[in-house]
Amino acid sequence: MKRYRISDLGPMDAEHVAEAVVPGRYIHHGGLSFHPVGWRTHSEGDHMHDSHEVFVILQGRGELELDGQRQQVAAGDVLVIEPGEEHYLIGDPAHPIINLWFHCADERHPDQQA
């Protein structure tokens, strides 16, 4: 995992905001997540990917559990999860997390294909 701040991200003329920190020409898929108070994401089992995943913490604070180790995260953090890293977000009960998440690829999302 690599940690950045929003202000660390690539040039303003990039195709997408994380172009300088993850492979892939386009944001291929993603979403906006509102986490319930104190909730741990993906509690159904092991959670990892074959590609990079980017989290942008927009509001709140809590912890990122990464391969069994926990570290603090807060609004403004940009977290790049490497392929194969098991990961979960855990919201602080007093400061629930809202985050963007996305994966990049060399192809556009199917809805953006010509």
Q: Is residue 33 over pLDDT 80?
A: yes
Strand-pair partners of 56 = 78, 100
pLDDT tens digits, one per residue of 36-70:
888 888 776 788 899 999 999 999 999 999 999 99
Structural domain harbouring 104: 2-109
With cut-offs at 50, 70 and 90, classify the pLDDT of residue 35.
confident
The mean pLDDT of 93-98, rounded to a whole number, is 92
| pTM of the shown model | 0.89
Domain CATH number, residue 91 = 2.60.120.10
Strand-pair partners of 79 = 3, 55
Q: Is residue 10 part of a domain?
A: yes
Read off φ and ψ for residue 112, nearest 5 degrees: -105, 5
Q: What is the reported pLDDT for 12?
A: 75
* Overall number of domains in the chain: 1
Q: What is the DSSP letter of 35?
A: P
Q: Is residue 87 part of a domain?
A: yes
Q: Is residue 114 part of a domain?
A: no
